[in-house]
Amino acid sequence: MTKVEKELHVPVMLKEILEIASPVLLDPENESPRYFDGTLGRGGHLSEIMKLDSRIKGVAFDRDPEALEYVSNLRSDWIQDGRLLLKHSNYVDFSPSTEGLFDFMLLDLGVSSPQLDEGRRGFSFYHEGPLDMRMDNTKGDTAADLIANYDEEDLTTLFQKYGEISRPYRVIRAILHDRKDKPFETTRQLAGLIERVDGWHRKGHHPATNYFMALRLKVNEELDSTERSLRPLIHGLKPGGRLAVLTFHSLEDRIVKNLFKDEEELGSPLFKKVIKPTWEESQKNSRARSAKLRVFERGNHRVDTAQGLGST
Ligand SMILES: C[S@@+](CC[C@H](N)C(=O)[O-])C[C@H]1O[C@@H](n2cnc3c(N)ncnc32)[C@H](O)[C@@H]1O
């Protein structure tokens, strides 16, 4: 993979998201359309949304300093013009009293392709690197810390709950045995153990996939962040504003679905059913395959051009 390919992140369900964002951001009566992106990544969604109209102003958070550095170079013109403000923040810390209210908000959850593909970030079971997995690599416990310190019960809960692995026992026993001699420090060391113990059952599905996903979700407290952030984000919508959330994990989607239902006093889900990527997109971009999109609209309905989307 070349350096440029490593840095690429293809924005998932971009067409659908632009259709949902357009009516609220392009309303001719809205003199100052505002967009909040809680998961900037490589700025793929952000760039296309901000290009819809030069009047749109954006605020974007990412907890990964590398993502912010990349987009601050890519979009330095917007930053200098005061159109775009980037912050090294967790979206859990979003507060409408600090950031103001927005017409359109987006969370594109999970990790970006460059985070996954760069061995040194420690997310990849194919590429050697430190067993890290922190999106914000300036603080917090790494995956290596969890593997070193969790007892049998903690590891069982972790892999069953977050990885949805029904019988992780043999892998856990092997971890507990091997770590007595040598701590787990690298991605390939752990992936190699899982390959050895569990073996390959499904073609194209690495046996470490769900173990690594469980560790990543825990290291970054991803489910907890989603749960804690949605209410403040909904409070950050202008009347008629929309919050779109893209998830890649069934537990995460369930959290979004339930919290959107709980906020009936402020608004409602824009579509009854979850929106999934088209077959064509899933074929072109494997990351899109598990994507699910839900949208919450704050009360005070607008004319909508995205009505066809809810039927998938
Ligand atoms: C899937 S990528 C977003 C990709 C982006 N939409 C694009 O098109 O380039 C997710 C990004 O969100 C960031 N992220 C994940 N959880 C976060 C959190 N709780 N707060 C802030 N950023 C977070 C990750 O570091 C990563 O850069």
Instruction: Show the DSSP H helices in 162-273 as ranges.
Output: 169-181, 187-198, 209-219, 222-235, 250-262
Which atom of ligand 1 has the smallest separation from the CA of 40? 5
For the cut 90, the answer to whether the pLDDT of residue 47 exceeds it is: yes
Which atom of ligand 1 has the smallest separation from the CA of 67? 27
Q: What is the pTM of this model?
A: 0.92
Annotate 131-141 with b (16+ C-beta within 10 A) or e (fewer): bbbbbebeeee
- pLDDT (tens digit, 9 = 90+) per residue, 6-22? 457 899 999 999 999 99
For the cut 80, the answer to whether the pLDDT of residue 203 exceeds it is: no
pLDDT for the residue 302: 46
Alpha-carbon gap, residue 58 to 256, rounded angstroms:
23
Mean pLDDT computed over every residue of the chain: 92
Amino acid, single-letter form, for residue 144: A
62 Cβ closer than 6 Å to some ligand 1 atom: yes
Alpha-carbon gap, residue 181 to 160, rounded angstroms:
26
Which atom of ligand 1 has the smallest separation from the CA of 89? 21
Angle at the Cα of 187 from the Cα atoms of 42 and 71, rounded to 5 degrees = 10
45 Cβ closer than 6 Å to some ligand 1 atom: yes
Pocket-testing residue among 63, 99, 213, 286, ligand 1, by greatest number of atoms within 8 A of Cβ: 63
Q: Determine which residue's CA is closest to atom 7 belonging to ligand 1.
A: 44
The CA-based dihedral angle spanning residues 58, 63, 190, 192, taken in that order and rounded to the nearest 10 degrees = 20
pLDDT for the residue 271: 94
pLDDT for the residue 7: 52
Res. 119 pLDDT band, cuts 50 70 90: confident
Of 190, 113, 112, the C-alpha closest to 145 is 190
Res. 308 pLDDT band, cuts 50 70 90: low
90 Cβ closer than 6 Å to some ligand 1 atom: yes
What domains sit in the chain, N to C, each tagged with a CATH number? 3-113+222-311 (3.40.50.150), 137-219 (1.10.150.170)
Q: State the residue for tokens 């964002």.
A: 21
108 Cβ closer than 6 Å to some ligand 1 atom: yes
Q: Determine which residue's CA is closest to atom 20 belonging to ligand 1.
A: 90
- pLDDT (tens digit, 9 = 90+) per residue, 66-111? 999 999 999 999 999 999 999 999 999 999 999 999 999 999 998 8
Which atom of ligand 1 has the smallest separation from the CA of 90? 20
Radius of gyration of the chain (CA): 20
- What distance, in Å, lies between the first and last C-alpha atoms of the chain? 34
The SS3 of residue 261 is helix
Can you read off the two tokens belonging to residue 5?
A: 């390919």
CA distances from 191 to 46, 97, 203, 214 (A): 34, 44, 16, 13
Better-predicted residue by pLDDT, 122 or 245: 245
CA distances from 304 to 32, 54, 92, 160, 246 (A): 19, 21, 29, 41, 20
% of the chain surpassing 70 pLDDT: 94
CA distances from 147 to 152, 176, 184, 234 (A): 10, 9, 7, 36
Range of lowest pLDDT (86-95, 113-122, 198-207, 266-275): 198-207
- pLDDT (tens digit, 9 = 90+) per residue, 135-193? 998 999 999 999 999 999 999 999 999 999 999 999 999 999 999 999 999 999 999 99
User: Which DSSP symbol is given to 111?
Assistant: -
